[in-house]
Amino acid sequence: MFNNKSILITGGTGSFGKKFTEIVLQKFTPRKFIIFSRDELKQSEMQADFSEEKYPFIRYFIGDVRDKERLYRALDDVEIVVHAAALKQVPAAEYNPFEAIKTNVLGAANLIDAAIDRNVEKVIALSTDKAANPINLYGATKLCSDKLFVAANSYSGKHQTRFSVVRYGNVVGSRGSVIPFFLSKKKSGVVPITDTRMTRFWITLEQGVNFVLFCLEQMEGGELFVPKIPSMNIMDLAKAITPECKHEIVGIRPGEKLHEVLVPEDDARRTLEFENYFVIKPELNFWTSKKSSHAEGKSCPDGFRYSSDNNSQMLSIEELRVMIGV
């Protein structure tokens, strides 16, 4: 479905955006592929790897999702949008709440309006486990964004633009993740640990990209897709990366959870389980009249909760080392 299509990715120079670009260019031949981001330096660096000379259909657009007019220009003749732009650092969002709201919430609203008015076919937005029962501002803005994208299906009207969301956990090797932090502490011989019981969902960039591509093919509009991914204990991660270091317990930071959730209990009644993923269906659905392609899913029982501590897939120290490449 991606050959000869016009595709735009917001936040295109981020960790996900670069891997998404790499995989799409390996597997498909788009008619046009637009990297939309606000950082001219990162775009310049990315052009060294994905040049317009080698890929004549690639375009680099400087722009911010806060700027609706720029989005209208960028989305001209675009058929598929992947929304990866966000302010995602928890402490930064707590200290700069209005900035997080402008990008994560108002930016989502801008993209929705522009996509509908430009007759985009499909929009899929990246979410986070922190949006499920959020306790920090970043999670709250992403939950708001998720709900905006789901609801957008009900007022796209004759334009028929469809919106869905992908929600997954921590990404191995992404900027700001715990792995580079642990490695930076290696020389000191002491690694700070928030809580020895802490668990997190874990996914690689490549797995994340491939799941998004899969969801773009499967989506009807309004779904929230959740992959089945393994969890890890923070102590096992520390032992996998820095086995020779001592551990210093520093306590959970403000806005942090002991365990993360991808499917909360309150969403269980609307959740379908498949072999490798879950689909959280929208509360209301005015836009899909045909037989759903999700009909084969198994309804989750009341009280079901998919969290990093009750996950049947827990990574061992050796599996973590293989996954991380250490």
120: amino acid identity, one letter = V
State yes or no: is 130 an active-site residue.
yes
158: three-class secondary structure by DSSP: helix
Per the domain annotation, does 194 fall within a domain?
no
Give a yes or no: residue 66 inside a domain: yes
Query: Domain containing 10: what range?
Result: 6-169+203-228+262-304
Query: The whole model's pTM is what?
Result: 0.93
| Separation CA 85–CA 40 (nearest Å) | 15
Structure-token match 């592929």, residue found: 33
d(CA 1, CA 28): 9
Kindly state whether residue 275 falls inside one of the protein's structural domains. Answer: yes
Supply the pLDDT for residue 95.
93
Q: Read off the CATH number of the domain in which 158 is found.
A: 3.40.50.720
Instruction: Give the chain's domain count.
Output: 1
Percent of the chain with pLDDT over 70: 97
pLDDT of residue 173: 67
Q: 317-324 and 234-241 are packed helices; what angle lies between their axes, rounded to 10 degrees?
A: 60
Q: How many CB atoms lie within 10 A of CB 322?
A: 11
- For residue 289, name the pLDDT band (cuts at 50, 70, 90): low
Instruction: Map residue 151 onto helix, strand or coil.
Output: helix
| pLDDT the model gives residue 186 | 79
End-to-end CA distance of the chain: 36
User: Mean pLDDT throughout 69-82?
Assistant: 97
Q: What is the DSSP string of 159-218?
A: G--EEEEE---EEET-TT-HHHHHHHTGGGTEEEES-TT-EEEEEEHHHHHHHHHHHHHH
Over residues 104-162, the pLDDT tens digits come to 999 999 999 999 999 999 999 999 999 999 999 999 999 999 999 999 999 888 888 99
Locate the DSSP E strands across the chain: 6-10, 32-37, 58-62, 80-83, 122-126, 162-166, 170-172, 190-193, 199-204, 224-227, 231-233, 246-249, 261-263, 271-273, 277-280, 298-299, 306-307
Instruction: Round the average pLDDT of the chain to a whole number and report it.
Output: 92
217-242 residue pLDDT tens = 999 999 999 999 999 999 998 888 88
Q: What is the pLDDT of residue 157?
A: 82
pLDDT at 175: 65
Q: What is the mean pLDDT of residues 57-85?
A: 97
With contact defined as beta carbons under 8 Å apart, do 58 and 13 qualify?
no
Query: In this structure, what DSSP letter does residue 243 have?
Result: T
The set of residues, in sequence order, having a beta carbon less than 8 Å from that of 63 and lying 6+ positions away, is 36, 37, 38, 70, 71, 73, 74
- Per-residue pLDDT of 21-44, as tens digits, reads 999 999 999 999 999 999 999 999
Nearest to 21 by CA among 275, 30, 263: 30
β partners of residue 80: 7, 122
pLDDT, tens digit, 9 for 90 and up, residues 170-207: 888 666 677 777 877 777 888 888 899 999 999 999 99
Average pLDDT rounded to a whole number, residues 259-265? 95
Q: Give the pLDDT confidence score for residue 188 in this predicted structure.
A: 86
Is 68 contained in some domain?
A: yes
What are residue 37's DSSP bridge partners? 62
Q: Which one, of 96, 88, 109, 84, lies nearest residue 12 by Cα?
A: 84
| Residue 39 belongs to a domain | yes
- pLDDT at residue 290, rounded to an integer: 62
> With 80 as the cut, is the pLDDT of residue 324 above it?
no
Q: Catalytic residue among 18, 19, 122, 130, which?
A: 130
Domain membership flag for residue 193: no
